[in-house]
A and B are shown apart, each in its own frame.
Chain A
Amino acid sequence: MTPDMILFLVIALVTLAAGFMVVTTPNIVHAALWLILNLFAVAVLYVMLNAGFFAMVQVVVYIGAIAILFIFAIMLTRHAMRDSGPRFNTDWPMAAILGVALLAALIWILSRWQSFMTLPPMLTSDTDILRQLGQALVSPNAFFIPFEIASVLLVAAMIGAIYVAWGKSGGKK
Chain B
Amino acid sequence: MIPLSWYLILAAALFCLGLFGVLARKNAVAILMGIELMLNAVIINLIAFWRYLKPDQVNALVFALIVFAVSAAEVAVGLALVISIYRRRGTVAADEIDLMKW
Residues of A within 8 A of B (CB): 2, 4-5, 8, 12, 15-16, 19-20, 22-23, 28, 31-32, 35, 38-39, 42, 45-46, 48-51, 54, 57-58, 61-62, 65-66, 69-70, 73-74, 76-77, 79-81, 85-89, 92, 94-96, 98-100, 102-103, 106-107, 110-111, 115-121, 123-124, 129, 132-133, 136-137, 142-143, 146, 150, 153-154, 156-158, 160-162, 164-165, 167
B: contact size bracket: 35 or more
Q: Give the CA-CA distance A54 to B50 in the complex, in Å.
A: 12
Q: Give the CA-CA distance A154 to B76 in the complex, in Å.
A: 9
Q: Which residue of A lies closest to B12 (CB)?
A: A106
A42-B44 CB under 8 A given contacts A19-B18, A77-B83, A99-B19? yes
Q: How far is the CB of B8 from chain A (nearest CB, A)?
A: 5
User: A76–B83 contact, CB under 8 A?
Assistant: yes
Q: Give the CA-CA distance A95 to B25 in the complex, in Å.
A: 10
Q: CB within 8 A of A88: which of B24, B51, B68?
A: B24
| Chain B residues whose C-beta falls within 8 Å of the C-beta of A49 in the assembled complex | 7, 47-48, 50-51
Q: CB within 8 A of A133: which of B13, B16, B62, B94?
A: B62
Q: Give the CA-CA distance A132 to B50 in the complex, in Å.
A: 14
What does the 1/0 interface line of B59-89 toward A look like (CB < 8 Å)? 1011011101111111111011111101110
User: A16–B20 contact, CB under 8 A?
Assistant: no
User: B43–A54 contact, CB under 8 A?
Assistant: yes
Q: How far is the CB of B86 from chain A (nearest CB, A)?
A: 4
What does the 1/0 interface line of B37-53 toward A look like (CB < 8 Å)? 10010011001101111
User: B87–A51 contact, CB under 8 A?
Assistant: no
Q: CB within 8 A of A107: which of B12, B32, B50, B55?
A: B12
Q: How far is the CB of A22 from chain B (nearest CB, A)?
A: 6
* B99 contacts partner chain A, Cβ-Cβ < 8 Å: no
Q: Give the CA-CA distance A45 to B48 in the complex, in Å.
A: 9
Q: How far is the CB of B27 from chain A (nearest CB, A)?
A: 6
Q: CB within 8 A of B75: which of A31, A66, A81, A86?
A: A66
A15-B3 CB under 8 A given contacts A66-B72, A157-B72, A164-B81? no
